[in-house]
Chain A
Amino acid sequence: MSGDIVFGRFMPGNSVIHRIDPRSKILFLTAYVIFAFAAENYVSMLLITLASIFVIVSAKIKFKLYLESLKVILFVVLFAGALNIFNGSGHILWEYGIIKITEEGIKNSLFVTLRITLLIAVSCVLSFTTSPTDLTDGLEHILKPLELLHIRVGDVAMMMTVAIRFIPIFTEETNKITNAQKARGADMDGGNIFKRVKAFIPVLIPLFVSSFRRADDLALAMECRCYNGGKGRTRMKKLCFSRVDIGVLLFSILIFTGIVYCNIYF
């Protein structure tokens, strides 16, 4: 069912974060990625962690949802963390052939794990607090300069809107087809990785066919509702910056200077 995926779901609400203009949120997230990787010692890492916690708490979204989102990519996080243990020089704690664990390696691993976790949590804040339409509208505005390069930003935004709309539908459909093929005796779970990939083909083909049919239907429905490629299109919701957005700007500057300061003086 569509209810299963938490990651990328919008939770209507009325927190400060909900009221921030989507453009500010997207730009903040971009800056935040840079901040997270710029933090290189324990003090600056602590600073960025505190900043993230502040953002997460202000969004007033149930903490459980973040955990569920993290669970999905737990493997990636742990894998990246584990790999980094062996990466680094300095004081050797344990050695076996060419594999050695150093103090710096442990620090690296800790930082990478923390960084990814924080990035995911803060991205979740963006997707939980921003409606898909606001998100695509915001992106459309940010990418507007690309129109100078003859990229049709409006079309890209419409594609994103439709893509977001259809993700849960296709998830549900994949489950349905999988069950239908199982009912016909298909072996979906057994075997090695190659067998499993091969077993997925009977699911993929019907899914592909059905997606074309849906696209056809949707195109017709959109045409009937006078969609003409975005020319002369207006928006119900006008995006406008408010005082909260100035707050976001100040907050970003604060974190940035904080991290630079900590990186230099600690």
Chain B
Amino acid sequence: MVTESLIQIKNLYYKYEGKDDVSKNEYVLNGINLDIKKGEFIALIGRNGSGKSTLAKHLNSVCLPSKGDVFVDGINTKDDKFLYKIRTKVGQVFQNPDNQIVASIVEDDVAFGCENLGIPPDEIRFRVNKALTAVDMCGYEKHSVNTLSGGQKQRVAIAGIIAMEPECIILDEPTSMLDPKGREEVISTVMKLNREKKITVILITHNMEEAVSADRVIVMGSGKIILDGTPQNVFSKIETLNEYELDVPQASELIYRLAQKGFDVPECILNEEDCVNALLKIMQD
């Protein structure tokens, strides 16, 4: 595991400027300190309005801190000169696949980011093919985007980011508008990119099953980081999660309740298979 740090957030505060008086003095982000290492797969969870997306926007200079600093690979995001360098390093995929695809043809859209960076045509062609292979969309180069399924569109959007060869991809609820099949396609693509290309992934999600597959889970609430640790670690703190109105994977919750009733079960369980095994063990005892 590489331990070099990629993104450092130091004492970050942020409030939206020029909004109505009610929200004017409220910080959306309230003193965030975070260190993201290269190659990590992070799931960022929290309920609506907890500041997840705002935090994500700070990582590629879309928002700039009101107080505090964000460093991407040692560069301060406030530094205007490196704006495009930062955005090349940290790519972002959004929730609605339709609203982030610019061109009507798959390969043209994937090329869009590279074209903006002024990369020579042959190199773009090479990168586009590589990116489409990486998201398993080879053979769709000339297809019209409108004929694709939601999962395919989202993978094209990911390819568009990959082609810019970023070190980190932020995915802001990429699966919330997709059907289960599309969801599966997108998540397995993201996991593959993380494993094979060592791209740092920050996955913002409401789906706890997705969060469980991450290396590290960060829970946010009212602009603060509440929990930060491995999935086992975070999902064993069921009381804290419930306090912030967050779901817990069903398996974890069941085992937790059994433990409260005095059954002899492992401390934290994340997937159904382990849960079944634990239940079998109880019944055999």
CA of A2 to CA of B149, assembled, Å: 12
Interface range on chain B (Cβ under 8 Å from partner):
35 or more
| Interface segment, one of A109-117, A138-146, A162-170 | A162-170
B42 to chain A, nearest CB (A): 18
| Structural contact, A236 and B116, CB atoms closer than 8 A | no
Q: Please report which residues of chain A, range 76-131, place their CB below 8 angstroms from some CB of chain B when the two chains form the complex.
A: 131
| Structural contact, A236 and B62, CB atoms closer than 8 A | no
CA of A159 to CA of B104, assembled, Å: 13
| Structural contact, A233 and B145, CB atoms closer than 8 A | no
Q: Does B263 contact A (CB under 8 A)?
A: no
| Structural contact, A218 and B115, CB atoms closer than 8 A | no
| Structural contact, B102 and A224, CB atoms closer than 8 A | no
| Structural contact, A221 and B142, CB atoms closer than 8 A | no
For A233, the chain B residues whose CB sits under 8 A away are 115-116, 118
Most chain B beta carbons < 10 A, residue from A168, A227, A234: A234
CA of A223 to CA of B57, assembled, Å: 11
Q: Does A232 contact B (CB under 8 A)?
A: yes
| Structural contact, B60 and A133, CB atoms closer than 8 A | no
| Structural contact, A131 and B104, CB atoms closer than 8 A | yes
Q: Interface majority SS on A: helix, strand, loop or mixed?
A: helix
For A132, the chain B residues whose CB sits under 8 A away are 103-105, 108
Q: Does B271 contact A (CB under 8 A)?
A: no
Q: Does A192 contact B (CB under 8 A)?
A: no
Interface string of B106-130 (1 = CB under 8 A from A): 0110011111111111001100100
Q: Does A220 contact B (CB under 8 A)?
A: yes
Q: Does A217 contact B (CB under 8 A)?
A: yes
Given contacts A225-B112, A234-B118, A234-B119, is CB(A10)–CB(B104) below 8 Å?
A: yes
| Structural contact, B145 and A235, CB atoms closer than 8 A | no
Name B103's contact: one of A12, A165, A214, A234 (CB within 8 Å).
A165
| Structural contact, A165 and B101, CB atoms closer than 8 A | yes
A238 (CB) vs chain B CBs: closest residue:
B121
Name B84's contact: one of A3, A164, A226 (CB within 8 Å).
A226
CA of A232 to CA of B114, assembled, Å: 11
| Structural contact, A236 and B100, CB atoms closer than 8 A | no
B147 to chain A, nearest CB (A): 8
Name B91's contact: one of A131, A165, A214, A224 (CB within 8 Å).
A224
For A161, the chain B residues whose CB sits under 8 A away are 102-104
Name A236's contact: one of B111, B144, B145 (CB within 8 Å).
B111
| Structural contact, B164 and A131, CB atoms closer than 8 A | no
A175 to chain B, nearest CB (A): 14
| Structural contact, B102 and A165, CB atoms closer than 8 A | yes
Name A225's contact: one of B96, B104, B121, B161 (CB within 8 Å).
B161
Name B146's contact: one of A2, A131, A162 (CB within 8 Å).
A2
Q: Does B98 contact A (CB under 8 A)?
A: yes
Q: Does A186 contact B (CB under 8 A)?
A: no
| Structural contact, B128 and A165, CB atoms closer than 8 A | no
Q: Does A242 contact B (CB under 8 A)?
A: no
For A169, the chain B residues whose CB sits under 8 A away are 98, 146
| Structural contact, A218 and B100, CB atoms closer than 8 A | yes
For A223, the chain B residues whose CB sits under 8 A away are 62, 87
CA of A74 to CA of B120, assembled, Å: 46
| Structural contact, B62 and A234, CB atoms closer than 8 A | no
Q: Does B221 contact A (CB under 8 A)?
A: no
Q: Please report which residues of chain A, range 2-51, place their CB below 8 angstroms from some CB of chain B when the two chains form the complex.
A: 2-3, 9-10, 12
Q: Does B88 contact A (CB under 8 A)?
A: yes
Q: Does B92 contact A (CB under 8 A)?
A: yes
For B105, the chain A residues whose CB sits under 8 A away are 10, 131-133
| Structural contact, A225 and B99, CB atoms closer than 8 A | no
| Structural contact, A228 and B94, CB atoms closer than 8 A | no
Q: Please report which residues of chain A, range 210-252, place their CB below 8 angstroms from some CB of chain B when the two chains form the complex.
A: 214, 217-218, 220-228, 232-238
| Structural contact, A236 and B108, CB atoms closer than 8 A | yes
For B98, the chain A residues whose CB sits under 8 A away are 169, 214
A164 (CB) vs chain B CBs: closest residue:
B104
User: Can you name 17 A-B residue pairings with CB atoms under 8 Å?
Assistant: A131-B108, A162-B102, A214-B98, A221-B94, A221-B102, A224-B60, A225-B87, A225-B102, A225-B112, A226-B113, A226-B117, A227-B116, A228-B116, A232-B118, A234-B124, A236-B125, A237-B121
Per CB-CB distance, the 7 closest pairs between chain A and chain B, nearest first, are A221-B100, A217-B99, A225-B113, A236-B111, A133-B108, A236-B124, A226-B116
18 A-B pairs besides A161-B103, A224-B92, A226-B88 with CB distance below 8 A are A132-B104, A132-B105, A161-B102, A161-B104, A169-B146, A220-B62, A221-B92, A221-B100, A223-B62, A225-B87, A225-B160, A225-B161, A232-B118, A233-B118, A235-B115, A236-B114, A237-B108, A237-B121
